[in-house]
Every structure is written in C-alpha cells, then in structure tokens.
Amino acid sequence: MVIGVVNGDKGKIYHGWSVTPKGTIVDPEFNREFTPEAYKELTGAVEVMRLTKTEALVHAVKAGEFPDPGNLGLRSLDDLNARLDEAASVVPKLRRDNPGARDPEFYGPGGWLGSKIRKAAEKRASATPYTTNATLGGMDGVTGYFRERLKIRPETLRDIKGAMGEERFAGGEKLQRLEASIAKEGYLDDSPILIAVREDGVPFIVEGNNRVQEAIKSGRPHINVEIQYLRGAEDVEGPLSPGNLPSVMARAQETKLPK
C-alpha cells in the first residue's frame, strides 16, 4: 500500500488510503475510489501527495505526529532517524521517467500512463503462456529505475517468479551447469539480475533465475540486482517497492562475497 498524506487545515495525516496505478485514491473508510480533486473536496484538504513510507514518516514528524505506518517497528524519533540513515546509506536515488506526469489526463485511459497500462493488460490477455507478455504485459513503459546496481540478499527473492515461468525448472540442468562452472572458474559477479516490477507492484525475474537459486543455495550474502519499475510501479506497494528496499538489501558489512 502506498502511504498517503493529506494536508488539511490542521495538518492531519491519513495513512489508510492507497493510490492505484491510474492515480485514483482508495479510501478504506468509504470503500471506493476518488479522483484527487474529489478527495480534496471530501476531506477539505489543500494538498494530496503520494509518498513512500519513509517520506510519509518525515511529513508525520514535521506535522507533530509520530505514527508507525506499515508496522515498521518505530517507537521513537531515534528509531526514525536510524531508519532514515539506514535507507540513505544503502538505497540509491530512484530515477523517474514519467513524461507528462503533471498532466491531469496522464493517468486516464487516453493518457500516456493509462494507455501503457491498458495495452499491457491486452497483451497479457492474448499472450502465449510463460512469456514476458503473459506475465508482465511486455517490458514497455519503464517509469522508475536506479542507475546503480542494488545489493540484494538472495533469500528475499526466493518467492519471486520468473518472467517466463522459469520456476517450473528449478534445480534443473541449467542450475547444475552453473554450479559446475562456479566450482571450476569461481563466482563471476559481472552481470546483474534483472527484475521488472509490474504496474500492480508484482515483481518478476527477467534475467538470472538460476543465479538467484544458486545464491540462495550457496548462502551468498548478496547479489547485484537491476530493478525496472514498469508503468508507474514505483508508486505502488509491493515486495520491491522503493520504500521496502531497505528491508531486502544487504548491509555494508555483508557485501563481501565468499570465495
């Protein structure tokens, strides 16, 4: 769930609602979707913002509140500062590529993002099973990414499926060949795992399924990962959403690979 903040006359902060890929707001109290303008009118807000968990915490503290959205285990301002320091030290800057994002029609059916999401859904509906079109709706529309490789702890990727259903062949011949190659030539960490996150927040491993399996099996402390967020996925809650990355990334002392 994307944490939302509504700044009203008293600076009240709402943590219960989420933002859909098309930009509408879902309020659990009313159990329906609103456009940002309609939600402003309903709540008397002067501004509606979409924020990550970390950003929401910062706004909460500035507003004189100290909530713990997402059950992050925060009990004091020191806990918050520690979490912010941790996030800043391991997570690089998220780069966004949302052309026309300020256009009110951007998220609509005819807008840039809306049309990308619609076309991806059409691809999934007609695609051959076990293809990237069937799982991701294609790789078009990268709206968020990191320039740097992320050092992710392999076990946190255990439940992420392959973009072409590679989990069907887990532990097969390709993994055995990889293990034999590593035993003979050593571990080569020159190519990152590629993970694409769909517009609903669901991630898929596009390249490197066997390398993830090998890393989990051999107990490697981290593997290098490239994450691409498709069609607004960077603003949607999921296992690898930007706000959740600190919980899956390796700490500084864990980044030395075993021989």
Q: Token pair of 63, please?
A: 């507003």
Show Cβ contacts of residue 200 under 8 Å, excluding neighbours closer than 6 positions: 21, 233, 236, 238
Give the pairing of strands 203-207 and 47-51.
unpaired
Q: Which residue has the higher pLDDT, 78 or 118?
A: 118
Nearest-angstrom CA–CA distance, 24 and 232: 13
Looking at residue 73, its pLDDT comes to 57
Nearest to 3 by CA among 65, 96, 67, 62: 67
Q: Determine what percent of the chain is predicted with pLDDT higher than 70.
A: 58
Q: Which residues fall within 8 angstroms of residue 181, CB to CB, at 6 or more apart?
A: none
Indicate if the pLDDT at residue 13 is higher than 50: no
Contact indicator for 227, 197 with CB cutoff of 8 Å: yes
Amino acid letter at 28? Answer: P
pLDDT band of residue 5 (cuts 50, 70, 90) is very low
Question: What's at 227, amino acid-wise?
Answer: I
Q: Please count the helices (runs of H) and the strands (runs of E) in the chain.
A: 7, 11
Q: Reply yes or no on whether the pLDDT at 118 is more than 80.
A: yes
Q: What is the per-residue pLDDT across 161-196, written as a single tens digit (0 to 9) for each?
A: 999 999 988 888 899 999 998 888 887 777 899 999
Going from the C-alpha of 258 to that of each of 89, 125, 251, 255, the distances in angstroms are 23, 44, 15, 10
Q: How confident is the model at residue 142 (pLDDT cuts 50, 70, 90)?
A: very high
pLDDT higher at 247 or 133: 133
Phi/psi at 195 (5° precision): -120, 130
Amino acid at 41: E
Nearest CA to 91 out of 250, 202, 216 is that of 250
Rounded Cα distance, 192 and 228, in Å: 12
